[in-house]
A and B are shown apart, each in its own frame.
Chain A
């Protein structure tokens, strides 16, 4: 178990280094002098004398070797220094701290809903295979996997916001300020984000439950005279969850990617919309920082998933 976890930690560290390298060097692909990118739009840099630019280069450490620059950049991130946004003229770390809670609020709810209800739906449809529940829910999961989130968002707004007038069509309020309004506002975006996870988990759970149903040890369980509830909850659930857990990493990745679209549709001022506006505003420091943070979140989730395998599957724990 310990060796397994240590191995995974080392692997994750290697991947983390590669992630930072990718982010750093892709940014360096930008044409022109990085310092120009940093100072562009901040002032009338065309009017800047070359000495000022040189001074700035030195200030940003851009006169050093590229690997030194990389090291400085990584070191800065560890200190929480993500650089300064050109557009907002604000520390990127502070900027992200303002926006991240919103995205996390939505994303976290979506992950939980997708996991719990998805797995539950998969379990029920597998146990009652071929019955009406299965026949209605399982085809729906196909739609859930393929519908574009932005289309779903617009459809929901059209139906529940415009036509029925039940829910506010856009915006975000912190639950700390106005819990009721906040909840009403997040229902539709959270559903949009959760829908992929719901569908994917339901499908995976269903097929892995059906797979487990066929296993010899389930026949053994029945042969012991156990009731259906015990057979399902005790003998099938844990085994079936193993492949479902694998999907967690992908699910979080899809939700974070989807937040960019969903926040745009619902005009939610989260990290996703910050990311998009920064791309169009050529605010590359912000783009870089958000990309990195998202990747690190997904890396962490994958690490947690790998470790939780060990908890679920003794063959890994003692392997």
Chain B
């Protein structure tokens, strides 16, 4: 499938009181038409910031300091943040679903007001047509008796229902890409599964690409075709879902997989947490940021700067000097 969005060497930083935080430090990734990709990492690794940067929704003290976001042949970062070109992309071509369904909807506007404004703006629908379409969308995402509930306010919906509204909102203008930023973190486990299934169905139906941003590898395992693993503002490993789960090569990915509980495993396997905490992003050393927590480190890691992405095979890349293959002779088989 054709490439839809290509992010090249994106850098976003926050100029805080304590110093410059390089939240996103030169990441590159791409997404094809009708593809689902996963962007995985711990909280604070920059995965959400990178997505907000693509939409140019970073506000002070944050600042996009470099890179390109190529979408339909144009570099989105060349557009003014709230200029008309950027606005015609947002919601219409690239839509985003946020993490917190409880706070991401405006409490003083009805669902109808919040859903139809995009339809009226981007698709130039009349008020009446927009309302019809909004009701249609709401029942599509599984909101019962959508017709009577459309004039309700957000606080009258449960968290899961609000997230469905957010999904409907994201779908409303049939965008090319939907970015789901930790879409299921704030809801309970059963609802999580339902929402993920719903999103998968919907992107298939709307022929949309989907970026799932999550800290939970388990969430993407089932849906994503390719996965990017982020650590401390950089991509440390990328590959097809099969690569990542079958032959993980970066020590961080290996660590992440070890802490996923599995039902099909022999008894007695221990869940191994990754030791230590993610690094403070202020005053980062030039060396690999995972070094203090790494159990594979070699001498070279201490001397040289952060390793560049190295091609392994196919679409599999890692950013690591160590030879992790030997010690993963018993991979977390899939």
User: What is the distance, in angstroms, from A118's C-beta to the closest C-beta of chain B?
Assistant: 21
Q: Contact check, A216 vs B103: say whether CB atoms are below 8 A apart.
A: yes
CB-CB under 8 A for A219 and B98, given A226-B87, A318-B155: yes
Q: Contact check, A239 vs B96: say whether CB atoms are below 8 A apart.
A: no
Q: Within residues 108 to 160 of chain B, which ones have a CB less than 8 A from any CB in chain A?
A: 108-110, 117-118, 121-122, 153, 155-156
Bound-complex Cα distance A215 to B91 (A)? 18
Interface string of A225-259 (1 = CB under 8 A from B): 11110100011001100000000000000000000
Instruction: Classify chain B's interface size.
Output: 20 to 34
Is A156 an interface residue when CB atoms closer than 8 A count as contact?
Answer: no
CB-CB under 8 A for A223 and B91, given A318-B153, A318-B155: yes
Is B100 an interface residue when CB atoms closer than 8 A count as contact?
Answer: yes
Bound-complex Cα distance A318 to B86 (A)? 37
**What is the chain B residue whose CB lies nearest that of A223?**
B96
CB neighbours of A230 from chain B (8 A): 117
Q: Contact check, A215 vs B87: say whether CB atoms are below 8 A apart.
A: no
CB neighbours of A225 from chain B (8 A): 86-92, 118, 121-122
Q: Contact check, B109 vs A219: say whether CB atoms are below 8 A apart.
A: no
CB neighbours of B155 from chain A (8 A): 314-315, 318
Bound-complex Cα distance A129 to B88 (A)? 26
CB-CB under 8 A for A224 and B104, given A216-B98, A235-B109, A315-B155: no
Q: Contact check, B106 vs A217: say whether CB atoms are below 8 A apart.
A: yes
Q: Which one, B84, B88, B98, contacts A220 given CB within 8 A?
A: B98
Interface centre among B92, B104, B110, B155 (most CB of A within 10 A): B104
Is A313 an interface residue when CB atoms closer than 8 A count as contact?
Answer: yes
CB neighbours of A239 from chain B (8 A): 106-108
Bound-complex Cα distance A103 to B271 (A)? 76
Bound-complex Cα distance A315 to B156 (A)? 9
User: What is the distance, in angstroms, from A235's C-beta to the closest C-beta of chain B?
Assistant: 5
Bound-complex Cα distance A312 to B108 (A)? 7
Q: Within residues 46 to 101 of chain B, which ones have a CB less than 8 A from any CB in chain A?
A: 55, 57, 82, 84, 86-92, 95-96, 98, 100
Is A158 an interface residue when CB atoms closer than 8 A count as contact?
Answer: no
CB neighbours of A228 from chain B (8 A): 82
Q: Contact check, B107 vs A224: say whether CB atoms are below 8 A apart.
A: no
* Other contacts beyond A219-B104, A223-B96: 13, CB < 8 A: A217-B106, A223-B90, A224-B90, A225-B89, A225-B121, A226-B91, A234-B109, A235-B106, A238-B108, A313-B107, A314-B107, A314-B108, A318-B153
